[in-house]
Copies of this chain bind each other. A is one copy, B any other.
Amino acid sequence: MPDKIPSDSVGLVSPQTHHFDQPLDLVSGAVIQEYDLAYETYGKLNQAKSNAILICHALSSNHHVAGYNTPDDKKPGWWENFIGPGKPIDTNKFYVVGSNNLGGCFGSTGPSSINPDSDKPFGPDFPIVTVKDWVQSQARLSDVLGIEQWAAVIGGSLGGMQVLQWSIDYPDRLRHAITIAAAAKLTAQNIGFNEVARQAIVTDSDFHKGRFYDHNTEPSRGLRIARMLGHITYLSDDSMREKFGRQLRDERIDFGYEVEFEIESYLRYQADSFVGKFDANTYLLMTKALDYFDPASDYDNDLAKAISHAKANFLVVSFTGDWRFAPSRAREIVKALHDNNLNVSYAEIKATHGHDAFLMKIPHYMEIFGAYMERVASEL
């Protein structure tokens, strides 16, 4: 933590956990008998319970969205840029909830949690959950928190997919849906990258068919590869050129296989710092949830039909440099919303940062996001 917590931070925050003892029926047909969801909240729920905002997280993140968990934390939550007093998601006005997705590895029940039936980690016995399942579990958390209707449900990337699913499955339970750097389904290329990541993990000799916990190890080599690859898809060719170019780490080429170019150093560093912090089975599960997400598939592949019962007002944001979920993918969502005569604001932000732009303080993005949230606040 910085010597002094910045005045626009929510400051020290504590994660909470709720235990759900009602079985959850999953899309796959599997049932989770009981489970925990970890979450954090910032700001105060008003008396009308009308000012609650749900933040849905992306593949590798969690419920720690803003503030600091301990005085020793070097970094705040992953969306600190956007959440806090006076920030676009203003905690003086809103009650903000971040929850860790089911199947995760940061407090919610997932493959690394202890299976009460065996007293060992679930591992591969933990069922694959989908975006729809997450949204159902988040709706139950809403009930626990006494939130009948969210002022807004907000998310970037995989989080934006959850937002879309919320608007479809619980049309009366959110007034605004904000989906950022997302798509209504993955392309073959997106699935291909996920499959490479998964194959790297499951073919690692330390994977042990997902029961690596029992062997006191983890498929760290596979997870490293998955994370390196992920980072390439989070950045853009342009942003990598700006950040690293062909810059060498030392003055000269060594003609060997140690780090030579700065980009190699960056990728290895990102990979090394991920291993030990993230569960490999959760990584597999999250990529599968991404692959499967396709709300139109039950509606003759017609997204407009899938979303025809939605009632929320939408803000859709995309970034020009995002080749993972390019603006053209966001425009598919916008078209489906327009086809249903829903209120849609769409912003295509000029940014070279790639997919990761949704995390960044890009002035035009902050402005548009902030203005939209002021509108949401003005309705309270």
A binding-site residues for B, Cβ under 8 Å: 27-30, 127-128, 185-189, 191-193, 195-196, 198-200, 202-205, 221, 224-225, 228-229, 231-232, 235-237, 240-241, 243-246, 253, 255-257, 260-264, 267-268, 271, 284, 288, 291-292, 294, 297, 323
- Asked if B185 contacts A267 (CB within 8 A), the reply is no
Chain B's closest residue to A210 (CB) is: B257
Q: How many copies does the complex hold?
A: 2
- Asked if A246 contacts B198 (CB within 8 A), the reply is no
- Asked if B224 contacts A199 (CB within 8 A), the reply is yes
Residue in A28, A257, A260, A291 with the greatest tally of chain B CB atoms within 10 Å: A257
What is the CA–CA distance of A115 and B260 in the complex, to the nearest angstrom? 27
Minimum distance in angstroms from A26 CB to a CB of chain B? 8
- Asked if B246 contacts A225 (CB within 8 A), the reply is no
A-B contact sample (6 more), CB < 8 A, given A195-B264, A195-B268:
A189-B263, A192-B231, A192-B240, A193-B232, A255-B288, A255-B292
What is the CA–CA distance of A220 and B277 in the complex, to the nearest angstrom? 27
Q: Across the interface, which residues of B come within 8 angstroms of A198, CB to CB?
A: 257
- Asked if B263 contacts A185 (CB within 8 A), the reply is no
Q: Across the interface, which residues of B come within 8 angstroms of A323, CB to CB?
A: 323
Residue in A30, A188, A232, A268 with the greatest tally of chain B CB atoms within 10 Å: A188
- Asked if A203 contacts B224 (CB within 8 A), the reply is yes
Residue in A30, A224, A246 with the greatest tally of chain B CB atoms within 10 Å: A246
